[in-house]
Amino acid sequence: MSSLFTRILNKEIPSEMVYENENLFVIKDINPEDTTHLLIIPKEEIESINNLEEKHKELMWDMFLTAKKIAKELWINEWYKLIVNTWDYQDIPHIHMHLISRRG
């Protein structure tokens, strides 16, 4: 069965898409922790950091560069944090990165 994020990507569940490229997509978190709270999500279903393999290096790099790019576009590039949780701290078993800022 597809993860919630894959279902969002496939337009089965509505979301507010902010950015998309061939490897990942970015949506607004539906329960934001702060003024800006985005989720950077790989299109490939990878459960957790613990499931990453050597072949995922470029994908993870793309996630960080995308976070940097979006932060700059939102004028929060000096005031944000990135969080990647694992297992018990993940609400959805599909790796994703939180971009959070009090600004924006």
Nearest alpha-carbon partner for 78 in 96, 98, 97, 104: 104
Apex 70 CA angle, 104 and 49, nearest 5: 110
Q: What is the pLDDT of residues 62-92, one digit of tens each?
A: 999 999 999 999 999 999 999 999 988 888 9
Set 37, 56, 96, 98: catalytic member = 96
Cα separation of 14 and 98, whole Å? 19
Q: Looking at the whole model, is its pTM more than 0.75? A: yes
pLDDT in tens, the chain (104 residues): 689 999 999 999 999 999 999 999 999 999 999 999 999 999 999 999 999 999 999 999 999 999 999 999 999 999 999 999 998 888 899 999 999 999 87
- Complete domains list, the chain, with CATH: 4-101 (3.30.428.10)
Annotation says 96 is catalytic: yes
